[in-house]
Amino acid sequence: MKLCEEGLALIRTQEGFRARAYRDATGVWTIGYGHTSMAGPPHVTPRMEISAQQGEDIFDRDVTRSAEGVRRSLKRDLTDQQFTALVSFAYNVGLANFRRSSVLRAVNDGDFAAVPRRLALWVKAGGRTLPGLIKRRAAEAALFAGETDAPRDGDARHPVEPPRGKPARQSTTTLAAIVSALAAAASTLASGVRDLAGALPAVHPSMIAAIIVAAAAAWIIRERWLKSRDEGI
């Protein structure tokens, strides 16, 4: 797997070149083709300026680092286009976010059809959904699918925020499950007290039913949390 030219052009175009340091959408000092201090040297400072050649050199180092990180994280062989699309994504969101993303999980699971949907979750910076990030994710998805005429216009800056699903406390499904679990627990406790008081030798049927309801509620809560984490909904 190696970087393809159309993918490298996509990254350059989406990042854009800035010779003078600036603050990105989240206030991080950035220069060149989306280079930040988190990516390694040089450390970006206010009023810092670089030449076009320096920008190319920094870009080469940064994209090589991203490519190596992506390659080490993959468990499957990909086409050069698929590989470069993931490098573009990792270059933008950072290797740490890439490694824990549902994008990588889908790729390693062989669920390539889910990759565009997973990529589309990563479109926020500074608490806002950015049109440039929407276009970039669409371009990366198209490149992953082998479409060489993928859109390349846009302005996607570092860093991108991990997608946040609907908080569990705001989910009506989760709240209903919690209420059911509490009701089941209360029923179990009440039944237990009655059974102890009557010294019954066998387990009361209502206790079995309550345990089943509580287990089902716990399963619903878990599934809701996983869906919120992985799909952002």
- pTM for this one? 0.67
User: Which ranges in the chain belong to alpha helices (H)?
Assistant: 5-15, 52-73, 80-93, 95-99, 102-108, 115-119, 131-144, 172-198, 205-231
pLDDT digits (tens, 9 = 90+) for 168-184: 444 444 444 444 554 55
Say yes or no to pLDDT of 130 above 60.
Answer: yes
User: Lowest mean pLDDT: which of 14-18, 78-82, 128-132, 202-206?
Assistant: 202-206
Per-chain mean pLDDT for the chain: 79
Residue 32 zone, left/alpha/beta (φ > 0; ψ -120 to 50; rest): left
Together in a domain, 134 and 179 = no
Read off the pLDDT of each residue in 14-31 and give the average, rounded to a whole number.
92
Residue 161 bears catalytic tag: no
Is residue 24 one of the residues assigned to a domain?
yes
Read off the pLDDT of each residue in 61-65 and give the average, rounded to a whole number.
96
Position 217 scores a pLDDT of 61
Is residue 206 one of the residues assigned to a domain?
yes
Nearest Cα to Cα of residue 30 among 38, 21, 39: 21
Say yes or no to pLDDT of 146 above 50.
Answer: yes
Together in a domain, 179 and 135 = no
Read off the pLDDT of each residue in 17-21 and give the average, rounded to a whole number.
96
Together in a domain, 105 and 192 = no
Together in a domain, 178 and 140 = no
- With beta carbons less than 8 A apart as the criterion, state whether 107 and 86 touch: yes
Spot the catalytic one: 15, 49, 147, 161. 15
pLDDT digits (tens, 9 = 90+) for 78-117: 999 999 999 999 999 999 999 999 999 999 999 999 999 9
> Residue 42 belongs to a domain with what CATH number?
1.10.530.40
Together in a domain, 25 and 61 = yes
Say yes or no to pLDDT of 50 above 60.
Answer: yes
Range of the domain at 125: 5-144
Together in a domain, 120 and 59 = yes
- In sequence order, the 6+-apart residues with CB closer than 8 A to the CB of 141 are 85, 115, 116, 119, 120, 150
Position 102 scores a pLDDT of 95
The pLDDT confidence band at residue 158, using thresholds 50, 70 and 90, is: very low
Q: Give the rounded percent of residues in the chain with a pLDDT score beyond 70.
A: 63
Together in a domain, 73 and 179 = no
The residue among 205 and 105 whose pLDDT is bigger is 105
